[in-house]
Structure 1
Amino acid sequence: MTPIAPHITAFLRERLPLQRGASEHTCDSYAYAFQLLFEFAGKRLRLTPSALSLEQIDAKLVMDFLQHLETERHNGPRTRNARLVAIKSFMRFIEHRVPALLEQSRRILAIPAKRTDSHLISYLSMDEMQTVLNAPDLQRHDGIRDRAMLHLCFSAGLRVSELVNLPINAIEWQPSPNVRIMGKGRRERLLPLWKQTCVDLRAWLAVRGPAPATELFVNARGQPLTVATQNDVGPDAQSRGLSDAN
């Protein structure tokens, strides 16, 4: 039996970030997929995750795991497919390290993704969007921050992960105000800033203080924000799912 621990460690610490240049968000997403898989396999096989072997992660177990995600964790098809993508990426990595498992890998790679529906995305009118922008209380420290975050998201079309990870030096004021974004797939884009967005950002920078964090937006303790937890965040940001780091 081939221990899985050294291979998954190499995959997450070397293959994804160093060889494939995957973003931190992608690495975290893949790591969480395997955390769920190993917990499921450990319970099914009555083993601790560290005792699992590669031979035990076969096509049947993977299919049962995907079914478990949908029926017991109530994940949708998109989440189910994202977990499957992580597993398939690992199996392609394993093909070159453990050739004896090529047939097992082939069966897992043959598992199809589930079809998903594409829904029409609605949008807010300008009056509705202005109401959202005006929601933060500008008499509060976190209200000034939240207003700047909302306006920057709106004007630049940022993902939440791009917003909370945005470094303070991404804002460039000369020769004209713009923001430099490192997006998904490490694609860089340079976007102009609207006049009101600049006003909101300058207001936030004036109260941000000398926080040691390199991120533009920080919590009351000067620490970076995250999208995962819900501690010490203003009510305006909580309603959007934005939160501070522990």
Structure 2
Amino acid sequence: MTEATAPHPVTFSALVQQFFTEYLVNQRAMSPRTIASYRDAMLLFLNFAQHRLGKMPTALNLADITPDLILAFLDYLEQQRHNAVRSRNLRLTALRAFLKYAARRDVSSFFVIEQALGIPMKRFERPMLGFLSREEMLAILGQPGETWTSQRDHLLLTLLYNTGARVSEIIGVKVGDVVMSVKRL
């Protein structure tokens, strides 16, 4: 290709738009909530970059998204906005998804993007999940009321407790799956 016929690199704003409209919606078929989360992360990042770099988001380019800028943004989320580590990591996930998409569209910025993608997720302490004692669970279950919905809810909660099944597994149970008698060996 000659210089006259070489394709022009995609602008940063066009990349952002394509990321949301083409990639997340059409190619990946992400849920509306995921897309909204990614949108919020991108808006926060673009506002932060505008204040930090003194550039309007429309004037940004991929070379501006350095590891230092991303790390400063992540610190801002934790220190100024008081985001938990999980929220910080979710914002980083959204930025990473965009950068991976952008790397495939603008190969000339691959080195800068590769550096930015090297930022690790922050580790955090997962809380120990508690559980209810048998007596506490029986107190919650109690006795079913007289109404059909009360009896239905009691049956579902008892089934969940006694089987240890997940809600998604209980939802999938069909009438034919229920065995009313117990065979003894």
TM-score after normalising by structure 2:
0.68
**AA aligned opposite 2:50:** G
Unaligned runs of 5+ residues in structure 1 are 135-146, 158-179, 182-187, 194-246
Cα 1:17–1:2 shift into 2, 3 Å: closer
Match of 2:33 in 1: 25
Match of 1:80 in 2: 88
**AA aligned opposite 1:93:** Y
Distance in 1 between residues matched to 2:61 and 2:112, nearest whole Å = 13
Quick one: percent identity of the two aligned structures?
30
Cα 1:5–1:117 shift into 2, 3 Å: same
Farther-moved stretch of structure 1 (68-77 vs 45-54): 45-54
Match of 2:16 in 1: 8
Match of 1:49 in 2: 57
- Aligned residue for 2:172, secondary structure, equals strand
Q: Deviations over 1:83-125 (max 9, x none)?
A: 1111111111111110011110110111111111121122453
Alignment counterpart, residue 117 of structure 2, candidates 97, 100, 109: 109
Contact 1:2 1:53 (8 Å CA) reproduced: no
Distance in 2 between residues matched to 1:128 and 1:8, nearest whole Å = 53
Distance in 1 between residues matched to 2:170 and 2:26, nearest whole Å = 23
Distance in 2 between residues matched to 1:189 and 1:22, nearest whole Å = 26
Q: CA deviation at 1:19?
A: 0.8
User: Which structure is larger by alpha-carbon Rg, 1 or 2?
Assistant: 2
Q: Tell me which protein shows more strand as a share of its residues.
A: 1
Match of 2:130 in 1: 122
Distance in 1 between residues matched to 2:96 and 2:129, nearest whole Å = 30
Distance in 2 between residues matched to 1:35 and 1:123, nearest whole Å = 39
- Aligned residue for 1:22, secondary structure, equals coil
Q: Deviations over 1:121-176 (max 9, x none)?
A: 22453366459xx9xxxxxxxxxxxx99xx6xx8599xxxxxxxxxxxxxxxxxxx
Q: CA deviation at 1:11?
A: 0.5
**AA aligned opposite 1:191:** G
Distance in 2 between residues matched to 1:85 and 1:127, nearest whole Å = 41
Q: Tell me which protein shows more helix as a share of its residues.
A: 2
Alignment counterpart, residue 99 of structure 1, candidates 93, 107, 118: 107
Whose RCO is larger (CA < 8 A, sep 6+)?
2
